[in-house]
Amino acid sequence: MQSTSFAAKRTLILATATAMEMRAALPGLSRHVPVEHEWNRLSVSPGGLQGRPWEELVLLVTGVGPVNAGIALGRLLGSLSTGSLRDAPEPVGVLNLGVAGAFSLERLPLGTAVVVTEEVWPEYGLLAASGLDPKGIGLAQGKVDGEPVWDRLRLTPESCARQMGLNISGLTRAVGLTVAGVSGTPERAEALRTKYSCDIETMEGFALAWACSLARVPFVQARTVSNLVGSRDAAHWNLNRAKQRLAPVASALLGDIEGTACPN
């Protein structure tokens, strides 16, 4: 009799900020999408795996912003190891999907799908008259591989994607910047782009990446461009197009997913 070891059954966490983004990314699993700050665990049929190293999918809707994102993913990772989901297989990684603003629509037109190679948090440090100094308070946020992390976190999407069984070859590489307050003026957008050489703006990326770094869990962030950062002009926005692009992006990454709910 052929048996499958417990260790061979792995879980992939799919995180979005909003239920809207998750429904757009996984229209076939709409009935399983949780409310904000919650998650649902699914058993995925073998036919949808296509050889990928996971058999369960946990859908996590974090809520908007870095605080919500960090708390929600931290709760889930803790539950997988010691809490209500301790019987679940260990996570093979975290995939973050959603929409984002682009600092240049010439480089990243509306609807473009990107994968993030580095995350920036421009709101950490000492704010003085000369600007924000991430080292101004003398305390790093922590260390990764012995190196202090201040306001930048380098990611390794290629190696993480391989570990998670994801093909990211069709996604444009981009540097992400995470804010708690969305840039609402061209001046603010230009200042951030000039200082940090960033490509997209989100409200969750750094928090999710940092949580995964601390937990030593592979992390991949894929976003579709919905707007020009700093502009409120309707001509620079197409949220519907960005949402429509999430489904083919998710399908290319995950394959055709069919799942049934597991008890949390």
136-146 per-position pLDDT tens digit: 999 999 999 99
What is the number of helices (H) and of strands (E) in the chain?
6, 14
Q: 3 in helix, strand or coil?
A: coil
pLDDT of residue 75 exceeding 70, the answer is yes
Model confidence band, residue 44 (pLDDT cutoffs 50, 70, 90)? confident
Please tell me the predicted confidence (pLDDT) of residue 260: 64
Contact of 77 with 84, CB cutoff 8 Å: no
> Both tokens of residue 241?
């197009």
Please tell me the predicted confidence (pLDDT) of residue 79: 86
Out of 37-46, 80-89, 181-190, 202-211, pick the least confident: 80-89
Q: How far apart are CA 72 and CA 203, in angstroms?
A: 14
Q: How far apart are CA 45 and CA 260, in angstroms?
A: 8
Please tell me the predicted confidence (pLDDT) of residue 4: 33
**Mean pLDDT, residues 49-73:** 90
**What value does the mean pLDDT of the chain take?**
90
Strands 38-44, 259-262: pairing is: antiparallel
Which CATH superfamily is 6-262 part of?
A: Nucleoside phosphorylase domain (3.40.50.1580)
Q: Where are the domains of the chain?
A: 6-262
**Mean pLDDT, residues 109-116:** 98
pLDDT of residue 83 exceeding 90, the answer is no
Residue with the bigger pLDDT between 1 and 64: it is 64
Please tell me the predicted confidence (pLDDT) of residue 7: 42
Model confidence band, residue 256 (pLDDT cutoffs 50, 70, 90)? confident
> Both tokens of residue 17?
């900020």
Model confidence band, residue 133 (pLDDT cutoffs 50, 70, 90)? very high
> Both tokens of residue 223?
């976003």
Q: How far apart are CA 141 and CA 4, in angstroms?
A: 40
pLDDT of residue 98 exceeding 80, the answer is yes
pLDDT of residue 263 exceeding 60, the answer is no
Out of 1-15, 34-48, 92-106, 147-161, pick the least confident: 1-15
Please tell me the predicted confidence (pLDDT) of residue 257: 73
pLDDT of residue 3 exceeding 80, the answer is no
Please tell me the predicted confidence (pLDDT) of residue 261: 61
CA angle 61, 253, 155 (to 5 degrees): 75
**Mean pLDDT, residues 52-72:** 94
